[in-house]
Amino acid sequence: MPPSAHPVKVPLHTSPLGIWGSLKAARQNVLLLIPEAATHAPILSGTTGKRWHMVMDPEALRHILRDRVNDYPKSMVTKLILGPAIGESLFVAEGEHWMWQRRAAAPVFTHRNVAALAPVMTLAAERSAARIAASLGRGADMFAEMVTATFEVISDVTFSGGAGFDRAAVHKAIETYIGQTAKVSLLDILGAPAWVPRPGRMVSTTGIRDMKRVADAAIDQRRADGAKPTPDLLDLLLKAEDPTSQRQMSTAELRDNLLTFIVAGHETTALTLSWALYLCAFAPEIQAEARAEAQATLGDRAATVADIANLPLTRRIVDEALRMYPPAAFLSRTAQAADTLMGREVRPGDTVILPIYALHRHHALWDDPDAFNPARFADPRAIDRFAYLPFGDGPRICIGASFALQEAVIILATLLARFTFTRIPGRDPNPVMILTLRPEGGVWLQIDPA
């Protein structure tokens, strides 16, 4: 296959879209709302139905995400899209309701607890390698395989051995919700109030209701049975308590947070791994170096948490995949107070957009930003903290970031040690974001023995 200059990327627009163009872009691929100028300018402002500001400057992002976080809550569009599925869980709650849940859940994701869940990841990596081995000498969709592997992990660490927990039904409900209802509507673009019904989101929610019913039953059963000998995520959350108020989560609050972790915990890691494998296939020399590292560390076994320190290149490939194809590639906030961002007036009600995709490919922040170059992460201290935001930052940084990174390195190293991945002509993935940045068409790669 003739080499391309760079891996696949989103064709950012170079002329104004207008209201109808914005709606079409948002429903086709949210990242098409980002202008090419966003990869060169520190801030852009405009009006498309309502006032908006697109922020790419690290200091301004620090101001939004850390210094004035309460003045920039998640946008109403985000809440309208996600609320039916995950309620008032950590991801969308605000103020004190968010704060007490975060205080209660934070100890669940300590390094010790996350490391204790690593054997589930190792077992999933081994199972994934066994399934991939069946495709030796031909092509396989590695996105589909990574979704399977990471859903195994999150369901095992959430409802381990849960009788009556129908994994297939829950997975199907999540996929249907993302595919059919998690899209921006014209009323969102026009800035219509939250109480105005969005018809596309009113259809639908049999699968979500069923998913919640299954989760509620599993939680109630665990309360009755007591904790497992080796605590899983559900056990840890059942015991979780806000140290300030001594409040514990109700069944509904537990369920909404568990569903949040299930959706985010497998989707983001599956995407990271899929894009990482595509990038390794794009750059065979980097893949070969990572394979040598993995084989020297692992031999013929699957990776464990103890191996991660000896897999620095594998970790840098994960970091670079998160830079080039961040799962949460487009965030938005709604300003609650008057402010100034880089000399621009921000009024209450303005939409403030954090285009992480553009930030991670900004020409003032990254050398040759569209190139795959894991070496740029050799010294993390050289990267501005707010120029690289795959998990956000500030008080609302993703609570499961260490879990996702641990899982990604364990699975990626295991696969690279055993297989060679090669691009298939005409089958490069298309980066499309609806709720997350997915490889449209899958990640089809030729699989051969290492």
pLDDT recorded at residue 1: 44
What amino acid occupies position 391?
A: F
Instruction: Tell me what the pLDDT averaged over the chain comes to.
Output: 88
First to last CA, the chain: 20
36 alpha carbon, distance to own chain's centre: 23
> Comparing 110-114, 219-223, 362-366, 381-385, which segment has the lowest mean pLDDT?
219-223
d(CA 111, CA 113): 6
Q: Give residue 220's region: left, alpha or beta (phi > 0; psi -120 to 50).
A: alpha
The reply to whether 268 belongs to the active site is yes
Reported as a pLDDT band with limits 50, 70 and 90, residue 4 is low
d(CA 161, CA 386): 40
pLDDT recorded at residue 2: 44
d(CA 53, CA 313): 37
Percent of residues, the chain, with pLDDT higher than 70: 89
Residue 210 lies in a domain: yes
Residue 182, classed as helix, strand or coil, is coil
Residue 1 lies in a domain: no
Please give the biggest Cα pair distance in the chain.
62
What strand order describes the sheet that includes 43-48? Answer: 43-48, 50-55, 351-354, 331-334
Closest to 438 measured CA to CA, from 273, 206, 241, 211: 273
Name the burial class of residue 192, with classes exposed (0-12), middle (13-18) and buried (19+) by CB atoms within 10 angstroms of its CB. Answer: middle
> Comparing 113-122, 211-220, 387-396, 415-424, which segment has the lowest mean pLDDT?
211-220
- Write out the two tokens for 29: 């691929």
- Write out the two tokens for 422: 């090669």
pLDDT recorded at residue 88: 84
Q: How many helices (H) and strands (E) does the chain have?
A: 17, 11
Residue 5 lies in a domain: no
Q: Which of 109, 398, 403, 420 is catalytic?
A: 398
Q: Is the confidence at residue 184, as pLDDT, over 70? A: no
Long-range contacts of 31-37 (CB under 8 A, 24+ apart): 31/329, 31/330, 31/355, 31/357, 31/431, 31/432, 31/433, 31/437, 33/330, 34/10, 34/330, 34/355, 34/357, 34/358, 36/12
Residue 13 lies in a domain: no
Q: How many domains does the chain have?
A: 1
Residue 123 lies in a domain: yes
Give me the residues paired with residue 213 across strands.
none
What amino acid occupies position 416?
A: L
pLDDT recorded at residue 48: 76
pLDDT tens digits along 262-312: 878 788 999 999 999 999 999 999 999 999 999 999 999 999 999 999 999
d(CA 154, CA 342): 41
Give me the residues paired with residue 335 across strands.
none
pLDDT recorded at residue 179: 63
Give me the residues paired with residue 51 across strands.
47
Reported as a pLDDT band with limits 50, 70 and 90, residue 390 is very high
Residue 211 belongs to domain spanning: 18-449
Range 400-422 average pLDDT: 97
The reply to whether 143 belongs to the active site is no
The reply to whether 398 belongs to the active site is yes
Residue 194, classed as helix, strand or coil, is coil
Residue 6 lies in a domain: no
Q: Which of 159, 391, 419, 421 is catalytic?
A: 391
pLDDT recorded at residue 403: 96
Highest-pLDDT range among 89-98, 200-209, 405-414: 405-414
Q: At what angle do helices 251-282 and 167-180 cross, to 10 degrees?
A: 70
- Write out the two tokens for 72: 């920039």
On whether the CB atoms of residues 261 and 400 are closer than 8 A, the answer is: yes
- Report the alpha-carbon angle 26-281-114, nearest 5: 75
Give me the residues paired with residue 48 across strands.
50
Q: Which of 122, 181, 260, 268 is catalytic?
A: 268
Per-residue b or e along 122-132, where b marks 16 or more CB atoms closer than 10 Å to that residue's CB: bebbeebbeeb
Closest to 104 measured CA to CA, from 212, 213, 246, 205: 246
What amino acid occupies position 193?
A: P
Q: At what angle do helices 167-180 and 76-86 cross, to 10 degrees?
A: 160
Residue 12 lies in a domain: no
pLDDT tens digits along 335-355: 999 999 999 999 999 999 999
Residue 290 lies in a domain: yes
> Comparing 154-158, 321-325, 333-337, which segment has the lowest mean pLDDT?
154-158
On whether the CB atoms of residues 344 and 45 are closer than 8 A, the answer is: yes
Closest to 274 measured CA to CA, from 8, 25, 10: 8
Domain of residue 216, CATH code:
1.10.630.10
pLDDT recorded at residue 273: 98
Q: Is the confidence at residue 181, as pLDDT, over 60? A: no
